[in-house]
Amino acid sequence: MHIRTLGLWSISLSFIVSLLCSFSAHADDWLTLNIQGVSGELDRNIRAHLGQLPSSKVQRRAYIFNAEDNISAALHSLGYYHGQVEREVLSPEEGTWTLKLTIKPGPPTIIEWVDINLDGEILHDPVVLDWLNSLTIRPGDILNDGIYEQIKSQLVTLALARGYFDGKYIKSVITVNRDMNTARITLNYDSGQRYLIGDVSFEGQTLNSDLMQSLIPFKIDSPYSTANIASLNRELLDTGYFSNIKVLPLVDKSVDFYVPIKVEVSPKPSHSIELGLGADIGNTTEKTLEPRVRLTWRTPQINRFGQSQETSLEWAPDKPKFLTTYTIPLTHPLDDQLKIRLGILRDKYGVTQVYDPNDKKFKNTGELEANKFLVGVIRQQKLDNNWLLSYSLEGIREHYTQSEIDYDPTFVLFGASMSKTVRSDNSLDPKSGYFQHYSVEYANPSLGSSVRLTRIQTKYKWIDTFFEKHRIVTRLDLGINLATEEDLAFIPPSLRYFAGGDQSIRGYSYQELGPYLDYTSASGELTRQVVGGRYLMVGSLEYQYYLTPTWRVAAFVDAGNAFDVNQIEPIVSVGPGIHWISPIGPIKLDLGVGLKETDTVDRPWRIHLTMGSEL
């Protein structure tokens, strides 16, 4: 049945296309239009008023008969009241007729004054006043009926969006003096009283009523605006609790200028499971295909207090990861959360090499592997100035073998961080914005840690778009570990600094770069192992050019590295990229090329495929 339906649709579509093509060709056979004397906006407006070319003898007669009236209407709408039209019809007995129109538009009508007078509470509305100041229509402009109607419509639309539901025009008129070729525009709008937001009621929710009330981002009795309604919808959507959301202003049920708000919601399914498949196709240390499987289990609402959980299990060769996070809303479901985390992770860092005396070079034999167990408690708060404040207590135990010595340190980390993101718009590909992040973590032997450590990090990203199509993206990552020389080996790899990857230095594998140690193994081989550094400094400058609104090309320079006191080796990579601005966010394909060989990595190249917003 499905195949049959598809076949019928294909036949019908072909028939319609053929019919349209034959109709178009038939219409051209009846009349050819030749317009002279005007161009640009006048020409386009005249053709729009004349309409489609005729497709029959009767239509052709009516088209030619009404041509002058339609042209006069087109000229008047753009402020030309003294236009002249010369019409010539070439009508052979056989073949296509030709309608030749020679138009002299005459002098334009100039706006002498513009009087936009507002009465009522709207007179003191800053948003409306900003709109009024942004109008470009001025005395001395050529009269344009379309712009006049647009201004009238914009004011009504803005007034309704701002809660002036009783507003109306007292006077709206264009007075034209045809002898002087001048016009006066008068708009007098009385807004009346602005309505206020009344009680907000919820239907369909299974959450605590206090929790739902805390999601209302405005005060009852606030002036009505669609922006407030949209912010409530956005708050409900961002919680992740609901599958369907309707925020309905009941203007027709307003009492004493108070508009009640009705919210209808439907809870999400109790559980969801997401399966992700991927692969890391070759890197600069191991030329292999490394499959990845990720399973994520989410429970968006465990109970009426809005608590939720997310558990992810990721498998890759030698890199299994398990992480579960339990979230408890405190004073606000979005702006104040307590997160409890438990994880078991295995990861690889840097590269391990053995010297081959025959080839007189180091060859890759593996990487620095670490098994990590963590448990942590984090409180995350969004402040009024849009800063995100977090403070945490995290315990980790990490096992790794470095220079053929086994380490098993324990750390209890007290941490705090602040970050802020500013976007020019809420799209997934903002034209401008910036991100800044600052964090500090502290561990002390007297508080349960193996060694004393102070870890400080800061990150910056800045985006701006110039002349619509030219976009600049820059970022800077800095980090420092404050610890004594004898304690460095006891700082686990997950707390050290490495460089490399699509968010660091492109052209190199993830966490491949950093300081290294040389040692002689138990079998007598000279071995070199990248173990990470105390310091991190990585920056990037990227230029992007929009070919179309959804496609752009890019060129970038990444530079920096992870360092130690006795090893400072800056790395630079460059490359091109092509980006597709998809409905789910930018998808970027970048080719990174390293400009130099290092002691542990040959001069590499690498393709990076990433998805997601840069802010």
Q: How many CA atoms lie within 13 A of 528 on its CB side?
A: 17
**Residue 311 in contact with residue 294, Cβ under 8 Å?**
no
**pLDDT at position 458:** 97
pLDDT tens-digit profile of 250-308?
999 999 999 999 999 999 888 999 887 766 554 444 555 667 788 999 999 999 999 99
What φ, ψ does residue 553 adopt, rounded to 5°?
-110, 160
Segments making up each domain of the chain, as ranges: 31-104, 110-190, 196-267, 272-611
pLDDT in tens, 491-535: 999 999 999 888 899 988 888 899 999 988 888 889 989 999 999
Contact 249, 223 (CB under 8 A): no
DSSP string covering 34-64: EEES--HHHHHHHHHHH-SPPSSHHHHHHHH
Q: Is 570 helix (H, G, I), strand (E, B) or coil?
A: coil
Query: pTM (2 decimals)?
Result: 0.74
- Tens of pLDDT, residue by residue over 40-51, are 999 999 999 999
Query: Is 530 within 8 Å of 514 (Cβ atoms)?
Result: yes
H or E element, residue 474: strand 470-482
pLDDT on residue 290: 67
pLDDT tens-digit series, residues 414-428: 999 999 999 888 778
Residue 18 predicted with pLDDT over 60: no
Q: Does domain 196-267 have CATH number 3.40.50.300?
A: no
Could you write out the DSSP letters of every residue in 213-228?
A: HHT--S-TTPBP-HHH
- The span from the CA of 218 to the CA of 36, in Å, is 59
Q: Are the CB atoms for 575 and 603 separated by under 8 Å?
A: no
Among the listed ranges 3-17, 131-145, 277-291, 315-329, which one has the minimum average pLDDT value?
3-17
Instruction: State residue 288's pLDDT score.
Output: 59
Q: What's the pLDDT band for 203 if we cut at 50, 70, 90?
A: very high
**Fold matches, 31-104 and 196-267:** yes
Return mean pLDDT, the chain.
88
Band (pLDDT 50/70/90 cuts) for residue 545 is very high
Domain 110-190: which CATH number of 3.10.20.310, 3.40.50.1820, 3.40.50.1980, 3.30.750.24: 3.10.20.310
**pLDDT mean over 381-391:** 92
- The CATH homologous superfamily for domain 31-104 is membrane protein fhac (3.10.20.310)
Token pair belonging to 301? 């609402």
| Alpha carbon distance 204, 202 (integer Å) | 7
Amino acid at 527: T
pLDDT tens digits, one per residue of 454-494? 999 999 999 999 888 999 999 999 999 999 989 999 999 99
How many whole angstroms separate alpha carbon 391 and alpha carbon 415?
5
Residue range 363-374: average pLDDT?
A: 90
Q: pLDDT band at residue 597, thresholds of 50, 70 and 90?
A: confident
Distance between CA atoms of residues 309 and 307, nearest Å:
7
CATH 1.10.3720.10 fits 272-611, yes or no: no
Residues 38, 104 contacting (CB under 8 angstroms): no
